[in-house]
Structure 1
Amino acid sequence: MVPRRMALDAEATHQAAGDQGADRGERLGVDPATGRPLRVCLVNQYLVPDVASTGYLIYELAIELAKLGFDVKVYTTMPGYGPKETRVVAPRREVVEGVEIHRLWATRFSKTSLVGRASNYLTFVASMFLRLLFTSRRDTVYLYTTAPPILTFIGAMVSLFRKHRYVHLLYDAFPQVAVWVGTIRGGSAIDRLWHAMNKICYGRATRAIVLCQKARSLVHDTYGMRRDRIHVIPNWADGEEFQRREKADSKFAREHDLLDKFVVMYSGNLGLYYDFETILGAAERLEGEPFKLVLIGSGGKREWIREQIEARKLKNTLLLPYQPRASLNDSLSAADASLVSIAEGIEGISFPSKLYTSLAVGRTILALSETDSELRELVEKRGVGRWAALGDVDGMAEVIRGLMHEPGEVREQGLRARELFERGFTREICSERYARVLRAAHPLVDSDAELHLDSIGG
């Protein structure tokens, strides 16, 4: 039970947030019959101050939903995504900008260990299942993410015992990702069982949200969910936090001697889903030219990248750790082009969220993907960058040379990138699309008429 003082603070803050939402037009979070806030509950393993990208996305979504008039609750766990030295203590319960946050118990072993990660997943899911089995409300719609991958199983199981409306938010498709990485074997017993459970989860879900059209087709074709119940809503970036700035004004560019070089930057997860072989090969071709490749972050391929830089004797390539969040806009502004990569066979089961921060800071997008990818289509159709095929080292080198010799076009592409971001990928725009889906799925509304499908890409 939430303490009375917390409840009063939540009500007051919620009212203020709702007033802000009214300035944006419709009060999507209001019950049309009673005028009272519609209840929504978001469930995700990570949340700010944790450093996981899904933690930021859910945190920002919750705040925006509160501004639109919803009564918002978030269930998560204590910060534990990053290394122990980066973890901070967060309250078990708190109210932030009208959002009521509850952090449940779960183990916090290092995610570099498969056993530790599995323990973290299972203990959070167990805590969450027990909580919702006894506290699920009929007047609430629940949003389950795939962080952890088995989280939506809770919704399916609870709905067997209680009236429980939920929306399935697909960030990464499992078991497909696990099969692609090689953690499990396609067609194995665990693979077949996981698919069977997914079919139940999608079958009992009111609606689903996915990040791209290929993911929509995957859910429809694999699990039989009606296409009109699957909605494509991209991730986003914070347009206030990430602004377009000139490279000359970047402290990071000055500190790392990047001002007189054409800089291709990748800043984010150096993980298995992304292709780095092609860009490292292109960097090898570009030795001796005014070019610099800057790779920032951590992940499963970081050690391999470090070894490749040494083996290839790349003097034009810089490998750095994650930059502090407070200085991220500055470091991203040191780039002339932002590399957005997705490995073969991954698009549809995952999608690179770093695209949106790259658009927000107004940088040319250097897309590296399969020929028929949605990433390529967006970049080329919108004129915000250039594309190269996975594995085409010479083609990538030529694309970069072309950009190096067209500084005016690079600048125009960057300006178009920011303009495209402001038209379709801000947290406010994307959160309003979420609001429409959650409203349509809500037990007190339950109406396709609330969706305005054209405004959310179907």
Structure 2
Amino acid sequence: MKILFISQYFHPEVFKGNEIVFDFAKKGYEITVLTAKPNYPKGDFFKGYNFFNKREEVINGVKVLRSPVFPRKSGKTIPLALNYLSFIFFSYFTVLFRLKEKYDIVFVQQLSPATMALPGLWVKKRQKIPLVLWVLDLWPESIIATTRFKKGRLINYIDKLVRKIYAKSDIILVSSKSFKESITKKCESTKTIEYFPNWAEDVFVEVKESNLELPKLPEGFNIMFAGNVGDSQDFESILEATKNTKNENINWIIVGDGRRLSWLKGQIEERSLSNIFILGRYPLETMPHFFKKADAMLVSLRDIPVFGITVPAKIQAYMASGKIILGMINGEGNELINDSNCGYAVPAGDALSLSKKAILVSKLSEKEKRIMENNALSFYQNNFAKNKLFSQLDLLFKKLNKQN
């Protein structure tokens, strides 16, 4: 079976779709990737890439067609808009002149921006093949939540565009069960929408021995946050929780970086917080070894409606590592942590409750901690194991191809 995989982001950028592509290629699928020149997350082209070169390459046996783009740079409005628009513009010509093969299915990994799905619509129309859309971010909800654009012509235009994308898709996969309600409102009630959640990367499931020298964690009960230090993660509330636990022998460890890192460092110094430590960014393959050193893991998102229907992928990574999870998050992510009995989740922005749960977890007996850790791993294996999810996707592709 021949599949065209479309996403603005692909290896060496780290996204879930990479694993689908390489795993399914090993299964015997003939996969071609249409993507952009890699420049996420730092905003500049990866080493060895520029605007003009490497328009076509083979990675792990997979043919990759790259459309030129303007790099996202700092991520501010104008360069980011140019980045998004340039992918659409140049991908149009890629679809017209560089796609020589006939495919059976076009599969789109739709992150931000949702417009990255447009080349998928063009291929579907030209080749008269089914389109599978994997929605990992809701538009225009995400724009409304994270930018100054709350309503008006731009939001209305994006809403109409997204409705068209949904309408033209044969099957829509959603990474969060809560996405279904939003998408259903934008398309026909007969549209096939299936739950296809995130999974943990292999490094968290098949942990290998490492000789890497990692920073030593301080004495005490260590709660670790791993990932992007951005606006969405609500570090204002995390700092409040840090302050509330400064006399409880609890440390808050930050592994990662992002646009708010310098602000965070300034706040730590300004507030004289001695129980929060920033370790910086480390490669993905080191994360299981960091997690092993931590007593509990932290996930947080702001109190914004769209985040209440979002499940951060780090929850699956934490579960696969068999870790206790503390969450300051609304909606489905909150329910996931509490229902699996692998930790405690409090409402988004509730720093006081997070502090209390942190203290509670720090005082659990070793037996109680082991029970929570086992619950995390068991829940992951039963609900998010990659082999189960990929088997589900494999059956979906075969069924769709047979119908076509």
2:65 — aligned with what?
102
Q: Which amino acid aligns with 1:122?
A: L
2:336 is the counterpart of 1:378: yes
Partner of 1:72: helix, strand, or coil?
strand
Q: Which amino acid aligns with 2:140?
A: P
CA RMSD of aligned residues (A): 2.6
Measure, in 1, the Cα distance between the counterparts of 2:208 and 2:59.
30
Q: Normalization by structure 2: what TM-score?
A: 0.89
| Between 345-354 and 268-277, the greater mean CA deviation after superposition | 345-354
Measure, in 2, the Cα distance between the counterparts of 1:86 and 1:332.
30
CA shift, 1:157, in A, is 4.3
Alignment counterpart, residue 284 of structure 1, candidates 240, 243, 256? 243
2:154 is the counterpart of 1:154: no
2:170 is the counterpart of 1:206: yes
Measure, in 2, the Cα distance between the counterparts of 1:239 and 1:106.
30
Measure, in 2, the Cα distance between the counterparts of 1:192 and 1:349.
21
Q: Which amino acid aligns with 1:312?
A: R
CA shift, 1:207, in A, is 0.9
Measure, in 2, the Cα distance between the counterparts of 1:250 and 1:396.
32
Alignment counterpart, residue 347 of structure 2, candidates 385, 389, 394? 389
2:109 — aligned with what?
145
Partner of 2:306: helix, strand, or coil?
coil
Measure, in 2, the Cα distance between the counterparts of 1:244 and 1:386.
25
Contact kept in structure 1, 2:44 and 2:72, CA below 8 Å: no
**Aligned-residue identity in percent:** 22
CA distances 1:16-47 after superposition (whole Å, capped 9, x unpaired): xxxxxxxxxxxxxxxxxxxxxx1111111222
Distance 1:86 1:280, change over 3 A: farther
CA distances 1:306-347 after superposition (whole Å, capped 9, x unpaired): 233223211000123211234222222221111112222133
2:142 is the counterpart of 1:170: no
Distance 1:136 1:115, change over 3 A: farther
Measure, in 1, the Cα distance between the counterparts of 2:188 and 2:47.
40
Q: Please list, as runs of the form range in 1=range in 2, the aligned pairs for 1:249-328 lying within 5 A after superposition.
A: 252=214, 255-258=215-218, 260-328=219-287
CA shift, 1:285, in A, is 1.1
Contact kept in structure 2, 1:278 and 1:392, CA below 8 Å: yes
CA shift, 1:241, in A, is 4.7
CA shift, 1:243, in A, is 5.1
Q: Which amino acid aligns with 2:160?
A: A
Measure, in 2, the Cα distance between the counterparts of 1:155 and 1:356.
28
Measure, in 2, the Cα distance between the counterparts of 1:172 and 1:306.
29
| Between 162-171 and 94-103, the greater mean CA deviation after superposition | 94-103
Distance 1:391 1:123, change over 3 A: closer
CA distances 1:225-255 after superposition (whole Å, capped 9, x unpaired): 4366111111111244555799xx9953xx3
Partner of 2:302: helix, strand, or coil?
coil
Q: Please list, as runs of the form range in 1=range in 2, the aligned pairs for 1:66-77 lying within 5 A after superposition.
A: 66-77=25-36
2:381 — aligned with what?
422
Q: Normalization by structure 1: what TM-score?
A: 0.79
Measure, in 1, the Cα distance between the counterparts of 2:148 and 2:100.
34
* Unmatched tracts of structure 2, length 5 or more: none
2:88 — aligned with what?
125
| Between 235-244 and 113-122, the greater mean CA deviation after superposition | 235-244
Partner of 2:227: helix, strand, or coil?
strand
CA shift, 1:133, in A, is 3.5
1:453 — aligned with what?
none
| Between 41-50 and 269-278, the greater mean CA deviation after superposition | 269-278
Q: Which amino acid aligns with 1:356?
A: Q
Measure, in 2, the Cα distance between the counterparts of 1:111 and 1:39.
37
Alignment counterpart, residue 365 of structure 1, candidates 322, 325, 329? 325
Contact kept in structure 2, 1:155 and 1:201, CA below 8 Å: no
Alignment counterpart, residue 179 of structure 2, candidates 202, 215, 219? 215
Contact kept in structure 1, 2:3 and 2:31, CA below 8 Å: yes
Distance 1:348 1:164, change over 3 A: farther
Measure, in 2, the Cα distance between the counterparts of 1:335 and 1:96.
35
Contact kept in structure 1, 2:6 and 2:120, CA below 8 Å: no
2:320 is the counterpart of 1:355: no
Measure, in 2, the Cα distance between the counterparts of 1:83 and 1:202.
30
Contact kept in structure 1, 2:203 and 2:285, CA below 8 Å: no
Distance 1:88 1:242, change over 3 A: farther
Aligned residue pairs total: 395
2:211 is the counterpart of 1:233: no
CA shift, 1:349, in A, is 5.9
Contact kept in structure 1, 2:106 and 2:124, CA below 8 Å: no
Partner of 1:155: helix, strand, or coil?
helix
2:292 is the counterpart of 1:333: yes
Measure, in 1, the Cα distance between the counterparts of 2:380 and 2:319.
6
CA distances 1:119-148 after superposition (whole Å, capped 9, x unpaired): 222222222222223537654211122343
2:144 is the counterpart of 1:184: no
Distance 1:389 1:184, change over 3 A: same
2:5 is the counterpart of 1:39: no
CA distances 1:87-134 after superposition (whole Å, capped 9, x unpaired): 222654343444322223222241423222222222222222222235
Measure, in 2, the Cα distance between the counterparts of 1:377 and 1:199.
29
Measure, in 2, the Cα distance between the counterparts of 1:425 and 1:412.
19
2:75 is the counterpart of 1:112: yes
CA shift, 1:218, in A, is 0.7
Contact kept in structure 1, 2:175 and 2:195, CA below 8 Å: yes
Distance 1:85 1:191, change over 3 A: closer
Measure, in 1, the Cα distance between the counterparts of 2:61 and 2:207.
30
Q: Which amino acid aligns with 1:421?
A: Y
Q: Which amino acid aligns with 1:353?
A: A
Measure, in 2, the Cα distance between the counterparts of 1:440 and 1:119.
38
